[in-house]
Amino acid sequence: MSVTSVISVPQQIASRLRAEVHRGVYPPGAPLREEQLAAKFGVSRSPIRQVLQQLTHEGLLHTRPNYGTVVAEPPTPEVMAALRDCRAKLECLALRQCFSQLDALDNARWESILDELYNACDRNDAAAAYHQDTLFHRVIVDKAAPAGSMGVYTVIAGATTEYLRVDANRPFHADFRELYAMHAALLAMYRLGDVEIACEALSQHILKGSFVDAACQAWADAGKPRGVGHIYDQLAETLRSPRLEG
């Protein structure tokens, strides 16, 4: 089964602009003008206006009275830690709510997203990788809250995406495909059918716990394969420990 997602023009522009902000192309305080961006991306000002509103809602941009839209100052380390903690709790809450309802269609969506994520990482396309990373996590959020009751999640998730700017999420920094390995390992943990293991893996994934390093190491030791296989099964035991000891 294959699942194909259609990415709208505003989504494509948002991903590219978000990546450029994270990479420092537009530093904090830099103004973003609708007409200039419309010319750059070859579109009218209407989709640009949507993108600026979306990224402002995410906290990446800031609107100054009588001045316009500028790149926001990044969160302080203390705020970032608090945001990551909030994101982990929200996603784990969503996972618990929908875990028993996850089905073949959800797995097919994840497989399709992972395939696109691998391709993006393989060609070092940070903007496309960010988009697929976002889609991977949205599967759970949308499944648990189909009516959009977790709207605040978008703001928090957008504010906690750092890897495009500082490469902070990949433990070894030798291969951009490590980002793929993390998510493949996460899906492998979901498929074990144990919600406690799944939530612990998800929490450590977001909070940069030992699961992240272990997943990338397992992937490298196995020859850096493509696909969600049994190479990650051993990680389950380490995820059981906090639950059993607690």
Question: What confidence score (pLDDT) does residue 183 get?
Answer: 96
Cβ-based neighbour number of residue 147 at 10 Å: 7
Fold of domain 9-71: Arc Repressor Mutant, subunit A (1.10.10)
Instruction: Give phi and psi for 76, each to the nearest 5.
Output: -70, 160
Instruction: Answer yes or no: CATH 3.40.50 is held by domain 77-245.
Output: no
Distance, CA of 66 to CA of 78 (rounded, Å):
31
Question: What confidence score (pLDDT) does residue 150 get?
Answer: 73
pTM of the predicted structure, to 2 decimals: 0.79
Express each pLDDT in 189-225 by its tens digit: 999 999 999 999 999 999 989 999 999 999 999 999 9
Question: What confidence score (pLDDT) does residue 213 get?
Answer: 92
Q: Would the CATH topology of 9-71 be identical to that of 77-245?
A: no
Question: What confidence score (pLDDT) does residue 160 get?
Answer: 77
Closest of 204, 160, 156, 163 to residue 180, by C-alpha: 163
Distance, CA of 95 to CA of 110 (rounded, Å):
14
Q: Which residues of the chain have pLDDT under 50?
A: 1-4, 163-167, 242-246
Domain boundaries, the chain: 9-71, 77-245
What tokens were used for 112? 């399709």
Closest of 123, 121, 117, 165 to residue 137, by C-alpha: 117
Question: What confidence score (pLDDT) does residue 3 get?
Answer: 46
Sheet containing strand 31-32, strands side by side: 31-32, 68-71, 61-64
